[in-house]
Amino acid sequence: MEKIYKTVASSHVSISVLMLPSHTNFSGKIHGGYILSLLDQIAFACGSKFSGNYCVTASVDTVNFLKPIEVGELVTMKASVNYVGKSSMIVGIRVEAENIQTGYKKHCNSSYFTMVAKDNEGNSVAVPGLILSNFEDVKRFCNSLKQIALKKERDLHEEVFNYTSKETLEGLKKYNIQINLD
């Protein structure tokens, strides 16, 4: 069977949603949890469109809330597959909010979701290879490689770090904590 490749552009998905008062938190700004829900939906749509399969969220690797979103703004999310593995994809999402009265747009959020393609029985399935068609695609792919390397390094550190050593406990004294171990 011949390997299938698809362009990054074939994965592009965008949604626009008007922010309503019902989407606010206690400070009157749009609730981050609501934005996360929309991010998960567009990541699913992007991964499923690219892979041709149902996708599940394996991890939310980065969510940077850069600027608050106001009631009445039109939020547009743009997603694309930045990286593919065997059955996984890293979906990058950019969130912009537009004041529909003035036309002013602001970059509010950048997020990276790892999605895994599944078959009807819930088993992971292979995803198409990725065709990088321009230097922006190459940049995003390389940034994903860096992100994966950092995640592996962090996981390795978690495995070998000794949380119970005297040195670790002494080093924690400079923080605003109190340690009461029995």
Residues 6+ apart with CB under 8 A from 57: 40, 43, 44, 113, 114, 115
77 three-class SS: strand
- pLDDT at position 156 is 78
DSSP 8-state class, residue 174: G
- The candidate with the shortest Cα–Cα distance to 98, out of 30, 16, 15, is 16
CB atoms within 10 A of CB 72: 13
- Which option is the CATH number for 5-132: 3.10.129.10, 3.40.50.2300, 3.30.200.190, 3.30.70.1140? 3.10.129.10
Give the E-state strand segments of the chain in sequence order: 5-7, 13-18, 54-65, 73-84, 88-99, 105-118, 129-131
Give the pLDDT means over successive 10-residue stretches in the chain (182 positions).
Answer: 92 98 95 96 98 96 93 98 97 97 97 96 96 96 94 80 85 89 80
Q: Where are the domains of the chain?
A: 5-132
Residue 56 in tokens: 């599940």
- Please give the model's pTM, rounded to 2 decimal places: 0.88
- pLDDT at position 181 is 86
CB-count burial class (<10 Å; 0-12, 13-18, 19+) for 30: buried
